Amino acid sequence: MSAMIGTLSAFDAKEQTWEEYCEILEQFFEANGIDDGDKQRAVLISVVGPATYKLMRNLVSPDKPSSKTYSQLVTRMKEHFNPKPSEIVQRYKFDSRSRQPAESVSAYVAELRRLAQDCNFGATLDRRLRDRLVCGIADDRIQRRLLSTSDLTFETAFQIAVAEEAANKNVSDLHQSAACHSMVAEGHGRKTDWKKTESVCYRCYHTQCWRM
C-alpha cells in the first residue's frame, strides 16, 4: 500500500472556516484517490479532532456520525458554523455598498463579490456587479466614462475603472512634481539668504529647496 499524499490536521474554528477545511479534505481525497463515500466519512471522523467530533455527535444525535453519509455530515456542520444569512439583508448590503474614500477600485470590486455570495443573483451576477460598480464608484470622472460606453459589460467596466484610476493618480503625481519644481525655480530667483531663514519647501522637503 502506497503512502498517503499530504497530511490532515484537526479542525480549528479560530484558524479557518468549515468550508476551507472541507476544501482541504476534498483535495486530500483527490490526491489519494479516495472516492468511496464510506472511506471519506471515516477519514473525516478520524481527523476532525475530539472537540469537533463531540459537536458533530451532538448535532446528529440521537444518531451516530458513522450512520450518516460524508455529505450529510459536512452539510450539518456547515449549517452550524455558517448559517445562511437573509438573502434580503445581503442584497440590501450589496445595493448600499459604495466605494469608500481611499479604497481602490480592485478592493471595492472584491468587496462587492464577497457581498454577492449570499445574494443568489444567479445568471444576473455580472449585470448586478456592473450596475453597482457604475453607481457606487464615487468618482465623477470615472462614472462619466463608464456611462458614455455603449454595451458596457462588467469586465469592461472594471478594466476602464482601473485604468482611469491609474491615470488619475499619474496626473496627480505629475501636478505635484510640477509644483515642486516651480517652488525650486522660484527659490533660485530670490536674493534671500536661505542659510539664515532655514526655509523648507512644504511640498516635498527637497534638499535643493532649502540649501540654495
d(CA 99, CA 111): 9
User: Is the pLDDT score of 196 beyond 50?
Assistant: no
Mean pLDDT rounded to a whole number for the chain: 86
CB 136 within 8 A of CB 114: no
Closest to 102 measured CA to CA, from 139, 66, 47: 139
d(CA 95, CA 37): 41
Domain spans of the chain?
Answer: 18-81, 87-156, 166-212
Model confidence at 212, pLDDT cuts 50, 70, 90, reads very low
More confident: 169 or 193:
169
Q: What is the mean pLDDT of residues 30-45?
A: 95
> What integer pLDDT is reported at residue 202 of this predicted model?
46
Model confidence at 84, pLDDT cuts 50, 70, 90, reads confident
List the grid coordinates of 144: 462619466
Q: What is the mean pLDDT of residues 173-200?
A: 56
When mean pLDDT is compared across 1-5, 61-65, 116-120, the lowest value belongs to 1-5
d(CA 119, CA 111): 13
CB 205 within 8 A of CB 180: no
> What integer pLDDT is reported at residue 172 of this predicted model?
65
Model confidence at 167, pLDDT cuts 50, 70, 90, reads confident
When mean pLDDT is compared across 38-42, 78-82, 90-94, 194-198, the lowest value belongs to 194-198
Model confidence at 143, pLDDT cuts 50, 70, 90, reads very high
